[in-house]
């Protein structure tokens, strides 16, 4: 079973990397881009055959390692 986890910064948390990308895009002549926020994506292959089990495992993975839940949100999609 395959899953995709998307980790993004919570709203209100400063994102200097996103700001840097924004100004780099402007310097490349791509002007109509407003705010940019960068996050992480993890494509995971998981042994569980049951969707609920897989989701529980991935939730544990996010809480323990993949996301810093103080400043980040995560979303799990089974694909």
Query: Binding residues for its own copies, per CB under 8 A?
Result: 6, 8, 18, 21, 24-25, 28, 30, 32-48, 57, 60-61, 64-66
Could you tell me the smallest distance in angstroms from the CB atom of residue 14 to its own copies? 15
Asked if 77 contacts 4 with a C-beta cutoff of 8 angstroms, the reply is yes
Give whole-number Cα distances, 46 to 42, 50, 73, 78, in Å.
12, 10, 21, 10
Could you tell me the smallest distance in angstroms from the CB atom of residue 70 to its own copies? 18
47 or 70: CB nearest its own copies: 47
Question: How many residues belong to the chain?
Answer: 79
């Amino acid at each position: 079973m395959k899953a995709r986890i998307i980790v993004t910064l919570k709203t209100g948390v400063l994102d200097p990397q996103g700001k840097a990308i924004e100004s780099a895009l402007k310097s490349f002549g791509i002007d109509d881009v407003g705010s940019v926020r960068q996050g992480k994506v993890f494509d995971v292959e998981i042994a569980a055959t049951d969707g609920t089990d897989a989701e529980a495992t991935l939730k544990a993975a996010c809480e323990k390692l993949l996301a810093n839940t103080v400043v980040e949100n995560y979303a799990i999609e089974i694909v």
